[in-house]
Structure 1
Amino acid sequence: MDPRHKKILQYNRINIVKVLDPSKISGELLKRGIFSQDMMDEITKSGTRRDQARQLIRDLETRGAKAFPAFLECLSGCGYRDLADLLQKENQTSPHHPGRLPPVDLPIYNPIDIRRPDRVPGPQPKEVPLHPGESNVFPAPSPGERETDCRTRRTRRDSLQTYKMDASPCGLCLIINNVEFRQLSDRSGSDIDCDKLERRFRSLNFIVTVRRNLKQKQIKMELSSLAKKDHSGYDCCVVVLLSHGAEVSHNRFPGAVYGVDALPVPVQLITNYLNGQNCPSLQSKPKLFFIQACGGDEKDTGFEVSPDEVEPRPGGADDQMDAIPTSSSSDSLSTSDEPDARTSLPTPSDILVSYSTFPGYVSWRDTQAGSWYVENLDRILEENAATDDLVTMLMMVNDVVSQNSAKGLYKQMPGSFNFLRKHLYFQAPPGSRSPA
């Protein structure tokens, strides 16, 4: 949808919600192919008339360039001529530049010191003593090793600086790999991503479960089942989502991933399943989410820098996007959430969501080699898990992926929403320790 039309809908949301009964225009929306029957059913299930109207407007914003004029026609033909005239008048007079997205108020976060405890100047906290009979995962270095191997020495027991990550197994890892879609393009190359991350997290001492080609309801069922498990004997939980994705309205974590039935599951709902309220046995433990999916349909052409600034890396010849096109009525679908999921849950803590791309932009995937993001995430975990914390490694991923170019033109910038309270070091595979 044209950003100008999105802005008009957003600015007039209160007026629309106040008077609109979606049931009165659903037949016309279906007739024009703006929504499918499944989508209208999801809107009907979203709650009261006002809730349904809000959901309809949110979904309408994802329905492509023809959705706004078709919506005005539906309003005019179904007894809402005054509302249609109001929106049409703003469409004709809106000063908003069509090439710019409407401004968004983003939360402001204070910077977090990502330095490891052994690099922080000044006096260091004493190591937590072990109970009789216990031992560190890594034996204490000899005096001659202290100067050369300081990066591999880290306290495994829970402390003010570092999460406890010495349970064996360390935790559960769920990988959802959606490849074959009904209404959307298949995601060739995703099985390569899945195999890499399955091997990687097994090597980091996680119990890995892989689920392939799940519908929206099945994704929710898997997450609900994961939340109901007893994690008291584990130190961490990981969820990996490989699918198509899109930009949706949110108040916490942006984006949504799609089931193979082309129905979305918002990322903020995905994280809610494992937060401290819904999964008590994971309270105060890190919950990690890795998402290979588009955050929207905008392509980033980047900006020019000195050749000395970065080393450009061309993408593969078979690069594809994990975006949901918004120009077809059969693609981008409803973003409905479960009742009260956005309002009844506390602010997340101990959660990190790593996105393959910046919200609103496409994410690139090579059909022969897998996605840029997963390829580099896997490699950097292999090379650096023994010495670096997770946040540092994700910055390495950001740096490498940002230097790739799809078709010699388009760029990609991964990022994360980090609500971890401590440094997180994975259990390094045997034999991977090396001097700093």
Structure 2
Amino acid sequence: MEERHKRILQRNRVNLVSDLNPSDMYDGLLSKGIFTQDMIDEIKRSGTRRDQARQLVRDLETRGSRAFPALIECLREKGQHSLPDLLLAGEPQSQPLPLPVHVRPVVRPLPVYSHVDTSKFESNQFPNFIVWIYCGINACFSFMFSQSYKMDASPCGHCLIINNVDFEPQSELNNRTGSNIDCDKLERRFQSLNFIVLVKRNLKQKQIRQELSALSKKDHSQCDCCVVIMLSHGTEVSHNRFPGAVHGVDGPNVPVQLITNYLNGQNCPSLQGKPKLFFIQACGGGERDTGFEVTPDEDRPCIGGTDDQTDAMPMSSSSDSLSTPSDEPDARATLPTPSDILVSYSTFPGYVSWRDTQAGSWYVETLDNVLEDNAADNDLVTMLMMVNHEVSQNSAKGLYKQMPGSFNFLRKLLYFQVLPCQRPIQA
């Protein structure tokens, strides 16, 4: 597809995903040689109407110069005149579209199959290495365009936010001024993504574990996803899979590895095969990142302010967390294969995480903005890369840097629901 047509589709992706009826397009795009039947079947398996529309538009961009005019023609054939008018609004009138596709020779590309029929290669007509290359390419494309998670339940799922602000004197931890700003932003954001949001404030270590245990005991069978957000001081601990730990207001910590363990397939059967998302706004350790020198075009003015604080604590031994016998029968000290889990950290393990006392943390502010601007069109992993990039550009006190990141064990693409307007759902 020509670059100008790709830009038109990308610019109008929100309207296409919202208004396009993919089932009306399949026969026309098949008869015009744009898609094969196998490709259409793959799009149909991608999920809801919105998922199919999103996948159809994405696949169109790979189908050559005839794909865009074919889409316009199919839309008009089905009486969907508003979408063609919208797409062609930016087209220069002095440059006519290519001739109608039905009068051009049809050059059909090789179809992409999920399972290749290798019997076609049993003769000696093709060398073995060509067969291997063909199968490998098809397997790669099949993986790249695998279906996305089902995310159309209403409500989509539960979201637990634990916001620790006021720490007890014996904890020797400072109060986290500005964290309430983060909490309010994320509460509104996940309500707008059709989650039931429950906020718990100033929890001790044992209370954190009790809330996670209660969440794991809920019936999630009618939900498609579950989210846990931790806003607290953090530290570095020994771990097997997920680094870091978050502190209760009384001082003792709960390892991230244990937090994720409450919702794994073994301890929460109704979430098996469903995405479980964890967002950790806490330090991963006490080290401060001074960054490294870059070329002028990579640099930009410092964004952090004089009120920036960290959520750091020195490295903690894991003996006070992982090895302590649990008082809840569903907690586990080890984590089975962490499928369908994503843990997003505000900072790289071992480093501090910066928080502005007036505006909230860099990570949460950026995450909220990225979700607001991009959740209608982009998958979660893509948006988290946007967050990583934006936060990496900030500087605290003109010197210190921060690099978010994630441990991603999702098996499919994840697209959030975006409600037309925010409407809080009662927990």
Q: Which moved more, 1:170-179 or 1:316-325?
A: 316-325
> Pick from 393, 400, 403: which aligns with 2:393?
403
Q: Secondary structure at the match of 2:297?
A: coil
> Pick from 154, 157, 160: which aligns with 1:171?
157
Q: Which residue of 1 aligns with 2:44?
A: 128
Q: Which residue of 2 aligns with 1:220?
A: 209
Alignment of 1:104-183 (within 5 A): 124=39, 126=41, 127-128=43-44, 136=49, 142=80, 145=83, 148=87, 160-182=146-168, 183=171
**Radius of gyration: which is bigger?**
2
Cα offset for 1:345? 3.9
RMSD: 3.1
Q: Secondary structure at the match of 1:172?
A: strand
- May I ask how many residue pairs the two structures share in their alignment? 299
TM-score normalised by the chain length of structure 2? 0.65
Query: What is the alpha-carbon distance in structure 2 between the residues aligned to residue 345 and residue 358 of structure 1?
Result: 21
Query: What is the alpha-carbon distance in structure 2 between the residues aligned to residue 357 and residue 196 of structure 1?
Result: 19
CA distance change for structure 1 residues 235 and 410 in 2, over 3 Å: closer, same or farther? same
Query: What is the alpha-carbon distance in structure 1 between the residues aligned to residue 346 and residue 87 of structure 2?
Result: 35
Q: Secondary structure at the match of 1:237?
A: strand
CA deviations on 1:209-261 (whole Å, 9 max, x unpaired) are 00000000000000000000000000000000000000000001000000000
Query: What is the alpha-carbon distance in structure 2 between the residues aligned to residue 352 and residue 359 of structure 1?
Result: 15
CA contact (8 A) 1:177 1:191 kept: yes
Higher helix residue share = 2
CA deviations on 1:133-179 (whole Å, 9 max, x unpaired) are xx746896847638959xxxxxxxxx942000000000000000000
* Structure 1 segments unaligned to the other structure (5+ residues): 1-115, 150-158
CA deviations on 1:87-127 (whole Å, 9 max, x unpaired) are xxxxxxxxxxxxxxxxxxxxxxxxxxxxx9x9xx9974523
CA contact (8 A) 1:264 1:333 kept: no
Q: Does 1:286 align with 2:275?
A: yes
Q: Does 1:304 align with 2:288?
A: no
CA distance change for structure 1 residues 138 and 344 in 2, over 3 Å: closer, same or farther? closer
Alignment of 1:200-349 (within 5 A): 200-325=189-314, 334-339=320-325, 345-349=335-339
Query: What is the alpha-carbon distance in structure 1 between the residues aligned to residue 306 and residue 39 of structure 2?
Result: 51
Query: What is the alpha-carbon distance in structure 1 between the residues aligned to residue 227 and residue 410 of structure 2?
Result: 13
CA contact (8 A) 2:236 2:314 kept: no
CA distance change for structure 1 residues 324 and 333 in 2, over 3 Å: closer, same or farther? farther
Cα offset for 1:339? 4.6
Alignment of 1:9-88 (within 5 A): none
Q: Which residue of 2 aligns with 1:430?
A: 420
Query: What is the alpha-carbon distance in structure 2 between the residues aligned to residue 424 and residue 139 of structure 1?
Result: 14
Over the matched positions of the two proteins, sequence identity in percent amounts to: 71
Q: Does 1:359 align with 2:349?
A: yes
Q: Secondary structure at the match of 1:194?
A: helix
* Structure 2 segments unaligned to the other structure (5+ residues): 1-12, 17-34, 54-74, 89-144, 423-427
CA contact (8 A) 2:322 2:333 kept: no
